[in-house]
């Protein structure tokens, strides 16, 4: 049974609450601050109910607030539910701002209070598990250059990065804006044999078309108005290192031809020059556009795609990453709280619901920006939905998924992943098994397990 501490100076209320809650929890009682603090110090309860009117200030709230502060100082993860009278709303709100999880107004209805207590235990368990995952993830983060994630899709991304990093094959990273495509490119470079050489990024969609060619390939003196000296381009700067072509889908067709020549022959010519220059650079490309559609429409060369996409890594949108959202949110919260010297402890329960159910069109970048803004502007120990700018914004219409077993969750993700990969590969078992990193017999077994034709 979960351990629950009830702190109240009224013996009748203590008995009433213990009688009503003893079937569901291991209930302990305290009548004053000394007893409550001693119990918390020894047993570290996950949830506490606290009456603010404790002796020697039974008619006021000062002793109750001192008790609240000491409990949270000893055990910051404990969820404290403040029990107040109907005329003590301001004190209750002040307690929440101080760090209490929630408040409940007297007279006590055990059935209602059970719901509040049950939710407090649930949230506390999520936060503790999240902190455990954070420690594991931070170890992985240092290995993969800042990429954070524990969901099956991200585990597949990590596995692919490790496999391809030691090779020189071109890698193509796909995913919505803000999912971390450049971080993947940097991780591949960091884990490669070229890690001591330059990592050179260029955003093909952010530079005007007339300037993009000299930016990529460099130019000779006098090649065009303003070209007063010879200049190397990004490709040359990446010699012996890694060239990251972000938003390659925005590259004009004329430059696609020149890039293709470089990928085939490993030579370039500067703008205005005739000399072939050999360049040894590993190429990682990325885009958020539908490349298959772009090829069909003729805006992206199919032969260039096959040259740049020997290996493809797809980054899932944040809304599909489940509890990775809380993992990232808490990591950003801690990082920005330390950076701005703020004592913010976490997210209010309503905020956690919003975080998990929001659609996140801007993905990880949007989450990071919202948390940073909330830390700068917020003052309370726990951030409310309004602190993250959720007021009036829609969330995903589907509510949080029903609680399922770990096996059910694993099977669900496995089925979705296999279905998506098979669809992407046009039902080709050989290609799908390569993408999934399993043998064909294993894939057949998995399909049979899930009743797939």
Question: What's the CATH number for 406-449?
Answer: 1.10.10
DSSP 219: B
Domain ranges of the chain: 2-123, 169-314, 319-388, 406-449
Confidence check: pLDDT of 389 > 50: yes
Does the pLDDT of residue 194 top 90, yes or no?
Answer: yes
Per residue in 371-381, pLDDT tens? 999 999 888 88
Higher pLDDT, 422 or 185: 185
Is the model's pLDDT at 142 over the cut of 80?
no
Phi, psi of 358 (to 5 degrees): -70, 150
pLDDT surpassing 70 at residue 74: yes
Q: Partners of 283 in the beta sheet?
A: 243
Q: Binning pLDDT at 50, 70 and 90, where does residue 70 land?
A: very high
Q: Count how many Cα atoms sit within 13 Å of the Cα of residue 351 in the half-sphere of its side chain.
A: 22
DSSP-assigned beta bridge partners for residue 7: 30, 50
Q: Which residue has the higher pLDDT, 419 or 91?
A: 91
What mean pLDDT, rounded, does the chain reach? 86
Kindly indicate the confidence band of residue 401, based on its pLDDT and cuts at 50, 70 and 90. very low
Distance CA(329)–CA(319), nearest Å, equals 13
**Which fold would CATH assign to domain 319-388?**
Helicase, Ruva Protein; domain 3 (1.10.8)
Using the predicted structure, report yes or no on whether residue 364 has a pLDDT greater than 70. Answer: yes
Which carries the bigger pLDDT value, residue 99 or residue 363? 363
Question: Span 193-202, mean pLDDT?
Answer: 95
**399-405-407-408 Cα dihedral, nearest 10 degrees:** -40
Per-residue pLDDT tens digits for 116-137: 999 899 888 877 776 776 666 6
Shared fold status for 2-123 and 169-314? yes
Paired residues of 80 in beta bridges:
48
Cα–Cα distance measured from residue 102 to residue 120, given in angstroms and rounded to the nearest whole number: 8
Encode pLDDT of 327-363 as tens digits: 899 889 988 998 888 888 888 888 988 999 999 999 9
Helices of type H across 51-151? 62-74, 89-98, 110-143
Output 320 or 434, whichever has higher pLDDT.
320
The listed CATH number (3.40.920.10, 3.40.50.2300, 3.30.465.10, 3.40.50.300) that belongs to domain 2-123: 3.40.50.2300
Q: What's the whole-number mean pLDDT along residues 289-308?
A: 94
Q: How far apart are CA 48 and CA 83, in angstroms?
A: 10
Q: Options 3.30.10.20, 3.90.1150.10, 3.20.20.370, 3.40.50.300; which CATH number does 169-314 get?
A: 3.40.50.300
């Amino acid at each position: 049974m979960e351990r629950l501490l009830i702190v109240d100076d009224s013996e009748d209320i203590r008995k009433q609450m213990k009688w009503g809650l003893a079937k569901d929890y291991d209930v302990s009682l305290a009548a004053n601050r000394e007893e409550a603090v001693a119990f918390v110090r020894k047993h570290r309860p996950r949830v506490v109910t606290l009456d603010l009117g404790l002796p020697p200030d039974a008619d006021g709230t000062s002793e109750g607030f001192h008790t609240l502060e000491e409990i949270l100082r000893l055990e910051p993860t404990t969820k404290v539910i403040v029990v107040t009278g109907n005329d003590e709303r301001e004190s209750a709100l002040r307690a929440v701002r101080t760090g209490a999880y929630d408040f409940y107004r007297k007279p006590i209805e055990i059935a209602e209070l059970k719901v509040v207590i049950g939710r407090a235990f649930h949230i506390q368990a999520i936060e503790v598990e999240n902190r455990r995952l954070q420690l594991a993830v931070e170890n992985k983060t240092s290995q993969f250059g800042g990429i954070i994630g524990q969901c099956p899709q991200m585990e597949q991304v990590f596995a692919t990065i490790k496999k391809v990093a030691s090779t020189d094959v071109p890698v193509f990273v796909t995913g919505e804006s803000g999912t971390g495509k450049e971080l993947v490119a940097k991780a591949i470079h960091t884990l490669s044999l070229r890690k001591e050489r330059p990592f050179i990024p260029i955003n093909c969609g952010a530079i005007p078309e007339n300037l993009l060619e000299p930016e990529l390939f460099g130019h000779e003196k006098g090649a065009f108005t303003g070209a007063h000296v010879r200049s190397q381009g990004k490709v040359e700067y990446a010699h012996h290192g890694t060239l990251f072509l972000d938003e390659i889908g925005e590259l004009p067709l004329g430059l696609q031809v020149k890039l293709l020549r470089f990928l085939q022959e490993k030579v370039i010519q500067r703008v205005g020059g005739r000399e072939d220059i050999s360049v040894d650079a590993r190429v990682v490309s990325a885009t958020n556009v539908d490349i298959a559609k772009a090829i069909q429409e003729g805006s992206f060369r199919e032969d260039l795609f096959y040259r740049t996409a020997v290996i493809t890594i797809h980054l899932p949108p944040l809304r599909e990453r489940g509890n990775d959202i809380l993992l990232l949110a808490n990591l950003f919260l801690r990082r920005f709280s330390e950076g701005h010297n703020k004592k913010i402890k976490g997210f209010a329960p309503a905020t956690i619901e919003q975080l998990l159910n929001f659609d996140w069109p801007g993905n990880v970048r949007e989450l990071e920006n919202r948390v940073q803004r909330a830390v700068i502007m917020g003052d309370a120990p726990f951030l409310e939905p309004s602190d993250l700018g959720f007021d009036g914004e829609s969330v995903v219409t589907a509510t949080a998924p029903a609680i399922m077993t770990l096996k059910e969750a694993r099977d669900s993700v496995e089925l979705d992943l296999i279905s998506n990969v098979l669809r992407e590969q046009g039902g080709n078992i050989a290609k799908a098994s390569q993408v999934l990193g399993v043998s064909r017999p294993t894939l057949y077994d998995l399909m049979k397990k899930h009743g797939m034709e």
